[in-house]
Amino acid sequence: MVPLIVLTILFVSMAPIYGQREDVNVDTARLLAIDGQYEEALPLFLRLLEDKPDDAQLNYYTGVCYFFLSDSDRSLFFLEEAVSHGAEFPEAFYWLGQAYLVEQDLKEALSVTERGLRRFPRNRKLLHLHEYIQKVRAGERRPSVHLNSKDLIVPVQPPLSEEPIDDFR
């Protein structure tokens, strides 16, 4: 009887170890994405989203990873999720606008940048993107998106001052 009790206690104490998923560190995933290692970062963000599907930052990073991996449908989905879950950083609107621009949906790209500018009226990147989209719609510019991993910046809360943001940091 004693061995049965010992085995039961041992089994019950070990159960959480076997039931837990591998711990994923959000900071590691962010650093991989910021470093341009989108293929490595994406599965980590997807795993993190399993536990927090409404997290605006996780949806943002996932969408940007898909954007840089040229999967615009998934990019649009996750960036829309970031915005719909109250993204408190202008990058979500910027990259969502860029994703619509890649899809050549100028109406949605313009709408997204306008929504972003209502929340972040002095954000330079959003202002430039909005102006660019207007020129494309007017036929003054040809649509193109210049991708650079340096553009992927850590989203932060809006600044306390009304000074324009140059680099989102």
Report which DSSP code applies to 165. B
- Domain carrying residue 136: 25-151
Tell me: the pLDDT tens digits for 66-109?
999 999 899 999 999 999 999 989 999 999 999 998 888 999 99
- The answer to the question of residue 1 being in a domain is no
Higher pLDDT, 93 or 8: 93
Instruction: Give the confidence band of 142 by pLDDT, cuts at 50, 70, 90.
Output: confident
- The answer to the question of residue 96 being in a domain is yes
- The answer to the question of residue 13 being in a domain is no
User: pTM for this one?
Assistant: 0.73
How many residues are present in the chain? 169
Residue type, 127: L
Q: What is the CATH number of the domain that holds 43?
A: 1.25.40.10
Q: Which of 126, 125, 102, 123 is nearest to 112 (CA)?
A: 126
Tell me: the pLDDT tens digits for 13-44?
333 333 334 567 899 999 999 888 999 999 99
- The answer to the question of residue 35 being in a domain is yes
Q: What is the pLDDT of residue 104?
A: 87
Rounded percentage of the chain residues whose pLDDT exceeds 90: 56
Classify 123 in phi/psi space as left (phi over 0), alpha (psi -120 to 50) or beta.
beta
- The answer to the question of residue 3 being in a domain is no
Domain count, the chain: 1
Hey, which residues does 165 pair with through a beta bridge?
A: 123
- The answer to the question of residue 119 being in a domain is yes
- The answer to the question of residue 15 being in a domain is no
Instruction: Give the confidence band of 144 by pLDDT, cuts at 50, 70, 90.
Output: low
Instruction: Give the confidence band of 145 by pLDDT, cuts at 50, 70, 90.
Output: low
- The answer to the question of residue 162 being in a domain is no
Cβ–Cβ under 8 Å, residues 91 and 155: yes
CB proximity list for 117: less than 8 A, separation 6 or greater: 93, 123, 126, 127, 130
